[in-house]
Amino acid sequence: SKLRNPNPKLLSSKPPTTPAAQRNRPPRYGPHRNHRTAPRPPRHCSKFGGRLNLDVQLDNFEKTKQEIVGSIGETATKELLEKALFSVTIGSNDFINNYLTPVLSKLEQTLVSPQAFIDALISKYTLQLTRLHELGAKKIVVVNVGPIGCIPFERDMNPLAGNDCVDFPNQLAQMFNSRLKILVTQLSATLVGSNFVYADIYHIFQDVLSNYTFYGKFFLSS
């Protein structure tokens, strides 16, 4: 049967003109730009699969920025980046696949205290977030670490927790998050023109777990 539009106020076909967002987008960053057309960066692999550390991602961003400069010029690129919203989610892999790695991390945990490990992370993130700002990012949302002790992997590795979350990973996350929140406040105060926002994912998920009936029906056991 022939399709018809029941609401004449809604368009049943493409608009006659190209949207402004597409017309003004740098040529190499059109609607079909993806991992196949983007430059392929080197992959940093571990025993648990390939991933790019934040330093490599910043290197890639710097290269991408230069490509945009070559396309629309320095001034337009600066304005573009100042208006853009950057989201940085950091920390989870550093705990799950590093400090909390089953068996492999036992020695590290005896040699490096949780506080020392978190100190090292915060020092590194200070440099990385500062570099992101220096590359032109002004509006930056920094997402904290969620309740990683509640993920199925950690619960499977710690069967004594039963149907509850594992305390130690969550304690690490909260220790890290308190330091990260202070860092975000400091960066906003010291980096000229910056607007850092701290996104508290941990307590959002905790609220869902604690007040799940408010959000609908959930199966809480894995």
What is the average per-residue pLDDT within 166-177?
Answer: 96
Answer yes or no: is pLDDT of 220 > 90.
no
Band of residue 134 on the pLDDT scale cut at 50, 70, 90: very high
What is the average per-residue pLDDT within 52-80?
Answer: 96
Span of 43-52, 58-67, 95-104, 120-129 with lowest mean pLDDT? 43-52
| pLDDT for 39 | 37
100 within 8 A of 153, measured Cβ to Cβ = no
Chain centre to alpha carbon of residue 10? 36
Span of 66-75, 93-102, 103-112, 189-198 with lowest mean pLDDT? 103-112
The residues near 78 (Cβ < 8 Å, ≥ 6 apart) are 136
| pLDDT for 8 | 46
- Beta strands 49-51; 44-46: pairing state: antiparallel
CA distances from 21 to 5, 11, 64, 199, 213 (A): 26, 19, 19, 28, 41
| pLDDT for 25 | 55
